[in-house]
Amino acid sequence: MEDKIKTRLLFVCLGNICRSPAAEGVMKKVLADRGMDAHFEVDSAGIGNWHEGELPDSRMRKCGAHRGYSLNSRARQFATADFKDFDYIFVMDNDNWKMLSQKTNNRNDMAKVKMLVDYADNHPQAKLIPDPYYGGEKDFEYALDLIEDAASGLANRLMEGRDI
């Protein structure tokens, strides 16, 4: 039996307990709903190791569950090997991008790093996916709104074979 090569997507935020595990869960569901999940592997990581091994923030899990998402991945820290292991790396804000750029001098590595919000079709004014950690429920809902929009836009591009 021939092994099919999957496109590997990684979502990165600061601690891997709010935005990036939400993006992982949303993207998995979006791909599954479109029958595309067999062609992709989806994961998430954090810049720091503060929350390694923890489930996503309970507030994000609650907001996600209300929308039908299973947000149950365990936090892990981004590793330099992730540049080699993933085809695309999506960050939530400019600070995440800058921190990843400090982990490599390789242009090919950094060419894989994209701003997730750039794929949001219905929020053209958004320049980042804000960290809801110090906010309230509305901040978690807004982060999910942006993540859902971006995941849908990204899936559209992947489905159409357009450049990422």
Catalytic residue among 18, 19, 61, 63: 19
18: annotated active-site residue: no
93: annotated active-site residue: no
d(CA 103, CA 127): 23
Catalytic residue among 82, 93, 109, 131: 131
107: annotated active-site residue: no
SS3 category, 43: strand
Catalytic residue among 13, 18, 82, 93: 13
Radius of gyration of the chain (CA): 15
d(CA 23, CA 95): 17
- Burial class from Cβ neighbours inside 10 Å (0-12, 13-18, 19+) for residue 9 reads buried
Active site residues: 13, 19, 131
